[in-house]
Chains A and B, each alone.
Chain A
Amino acid sequence: MSTFAMGCSRAYRCIARAFPHQYRAICGDGLEQLGEDVVPRVWQQHGVAGLIRLFADLAWRLPCEYLFTWIGRLKEATMTDDRFEGTWRARQSEASQWKVDQPAPQQAFLRFEPTDTGYLMVAYGVVNGEACTERPQVIIADGRRRPLLDLSGRPIPGVPTGAMTFGSKPDPQTLELGEEVDGQVLGAGRYKVSADGKTLTVTNKGTGLKGPFEVVMVLERVVR
């Protein structure tokens, strides 16, 4: 490869790395690698004109992707009348169900913290007399599918490769979340705040690592 083509590959890689985090979370470093593979071929086959076209494609997509990201954030920011923010504590209720191959918690809490794009949901409580916390979950309720990753953007142990998470907010009082692999739903959750804003009913169904589960919990607001 000529020095010029190598320089172009490097420049392409640098620009590709400037794409928004949400884009890179889904496409990974595929764009950088593809650019790297393509630059020498385009240079050989189409010369300078081909490289101009290649970089023009990149230069055009970069602001577009940022625009899409900002539009998504703006939609979330303009969500009015947030009913979820705060901490909720599970209470005894006839509506509650616990069909899971695990002991029911003696105490359970859910905390919704607003973020730039939605919420961070943290579940914690007491099981078998010991405090425990579940993996925090990022909720972006815009209907889009995103890879199911941890907060650092890394795969979660035990979660199948290619697992996607998605969420929607059909109305200001309801959040619907789900996880799927290959179009097959692993689990689906519905979080509904009562009309008076005092209780939250959580319904979770699906198939986990330890088999099928179905949970219905009624929680009451403890901290706004």
Chain B
Amino acid sequence: MPKPKPDAFLPLKSNWLHILVCLVEGEQHGYGIMQDVLERSSGKVRLWPATLYGSLKRLIEKGLIAESGERPAPELDDARRRYYKLTPLGRQVLDLESQRLKDLVRVLDARRRQEARS
């Protein structure tokens, strides 16, 4: 099957971006992702469980994330949890999205500077 091109996913949906950012540092389970997004956005973005799992399902189907077989040490682990991690494609998509957002901010800054000068 032809692999989807990473730029075909851009611009990333907001929920997808939040989830992928959570997984940059390593594997994470559903509750961990939910808490991470909430904390990182200072409580402004909350991914409710059904929305979160709907997004996880779609990200898995698109090949951007995968379920991880590795588990933390048993004393730190909750056997019920499923862990998710970025795939190489997911990482590529996130890099491209990050570049896209940086370019956008650069354009915005340049326009603001121009506006301030005039």
List residues of A whose CB falls within 8 A of some B CB.
16, 23, 26-31, 33-35, 37-38, 53-54, 57-58, 60-62, 64-65, 143-147, 160-162, 164, 166-168, 176-178, 180-183, 188
| B31 pairs with A37, CB closer than 8 A | yes
Give the shortest distance, in Å, between A103 (CB) and chain B (any CB). 30
- Distance of A177 Cα from B89 Cα, bound (Å): 18
B52 at the interface (CB under 8 A from A): yes
Q: How far is the CB of B55 from chain A (nearest CB, A)?
A: 10
* Nearest B residue (CB) for A57: B48
Determine which of B30, B63, B85 lies in contact with A34 in the assembled complex, contact meaning CB atoms within 8 Å. Answer: B30
Q: Max chain B CB contacts within 10 Å: which of A16, A64, A162, A177?
A: A162
Q: How far is the CA of A64 from the CA of B50 in the complex (A)?
A: 11
Complex CA gap A188/B2 in Å reads: 11
Let me know if A61 and B82 touch, CB within 8 A: no
Taking the closest CB of chain B, its distance from the CB of A175, in whole angstroms, is 10
Q: Closest A-chain residue to B56, C-beta based?
A: A27
Given the known interface contacts A34-B31, A145-B62, A161-B69, the answer about A166 and B50 at a Cβ–Cβ threshold of 8 Å is no
Give, as a whole number of angstroms, the nearest-CB distance from B43 to chain A.
10
A159 to chain B, nearest CB (A): 11
The B72-92 residues at the A interface (CB cut-off 8 A) are: 80-82, 85, 87-90
B8 is an interface residue with CB less than 8 A from chain A: no
Q: Establish whether residues A162 and B81, one from each chain, have CB atoms under 8 Å apart when the complex forms.
A: no
Q: How far is the CB of A33 from chain B (nearest CB, A)?
A: 5
Q: Is B26 an interface residue (CB 8 A)?
A: no
21 contacts between A and B (CB under 8 A): A16-B50, A23-B57, A26-B61, A27-B57, A27-B82, A31-B49, A34-B30, A34-B49, A37-B31, A57-B49, A58-B48, A58-B50, A61-B54, A62-B50, A143-B1, A146-B61, A147-B67, A162-B66, A162-B68, A164-B63, A182-B88
For the complex, give the distance between the alpha carbons of A220 and B87 in Å. Answer: 39
A29 and B80 in contact, given A57-B50, A61-B54, A182-B87 (Cβ under 8 angstroms): yes
Task: Tell me if A176 and B31 are in contact (CB < 8 A).
Answer: no
